[in-house]
A and B are shown apart, each in its own frame.
Chain A
Amino acid sequence: MSPIGPAARLHIDWTRCDGRGLCAELLPEALTRDDWGYPLAAPGRVRSGADKSNVPVTGAELAAAMDAVKLCPLLALRITRP
């Protein structure tokens, strides 16, 4: 993460997501999967206790994040500005 903060945020809509894991493959640094396969912010990405469904992504990860938004079979992902 650059000192000026994340380039964007990836919002995960857990009500739509079914934990198919595409996004975690595309963003291995930013996302991990819980036991049920659902993606959430990787440890260290957000302050502990913070919302794990709004994941900060770096400028370098932005392209992969946009691919994930496009490819998510359940349209559960969205890019939001920080």
Chain B
Amino acid sequence: MWAFGRVSGLVSMVLLTASVLLGILARSGRPLLVIPRFSVTLLHRNISLLAVVFLVLHVAPLLLDSYARVNVVDVVVPFLGSYKPFWQGLGTVALDLVAAVVLTGVFRHRLGPRTFRTVHWLSYAMWPLALAHSVGNGTDGTSAPVVAAAVVLCVAVLAAAAWRMSAGFLETAAVRRSGGNARKGWGRP
């Protein structure tokens, strides 16, 4: 149970990272090499849902594990755990944020674009929390391979975030900047 919970945690961390990267790419409006835009969006969605599956496989075994001593309240309310409560709490906050982001994503047609987008922004808070939890709480979180992997994921997300904030991010950025009379080129978050 313990080992299983660890592996599924690492897998979900990788999937969450992939999802963040694909989300940023989807936001740019660009296709990925030969993969069309709608497929990038579908990949973003499906990988996120897969990450949720692995998060369930990460948390559920720890509930059943007598050694981990995690109870149902710890899954939802952060910083109450008995083992490394701070690092575990970061994971709990990240889990709550994932739940919010995924649920508002699934029900976005009913909630409307404003709620969906506002909550979706929380992904950027979720990711570093999840990573800190992986490294700080994991049994082998500070082992060389995990730290190396964490560095790689960090560089990837930081690079993507920098690209996200750069002026040429949108596929149509160049036209929208030069055309002063764009039909509606004004800023969106």
Chain B nearest CB from A7 CB (Å) reads 21
Whether a CB of chain A sits under 8 angstroms from the CB of B156 is no
- Complex contact B29–A20 (CB within 8 A): yes
Main secondary structure of the interface of A (DSSP, over half): loop
Whether a CB of chain B sits under 8 angstroms from the CB of A1 is no
Q: Report, as a range, how many residues of chain B touch the other chain.
A: 20 to 34
Complex interface bits, B107-120 against A, C-beta within 8 A gives 1, otherwise 0: 01100110010000
Give the nearest-CB partner of B172 in chain A: A37
Query: Hey, which chain B residues are within 8 Å of A26, CB to CB?
Result: 38
- Complex contact A71–B41 (CB within 8 A): yes
Give the nearest-CB partner of B108 in chain A: A75
Complex interface bits, A1-32 against B, C-beta within 8 A gives 1, otherwise 0: 00000000000001110111110011000000
Complex partner residue of A21 from B37, B108, B116, CB under 8 angstroms: B37
Complex partner residue of B38 from A18, A35, A37, A67, CB under 8 angstroms: A67
Question: How many A residues touch B, CB cutoff 8 Å?
Answer: 22
- Complex contact A36–B175 (CB within 8 A): yes
Query: Hey, which chain A residues are within 8 Å of B175, CB to CB?
Result: 35-37
Complex partner residue of B109 from A16, A35, A75, CB under 8 angstroms: A75
Give the nearest-CB partner of A35 in chain B: B175
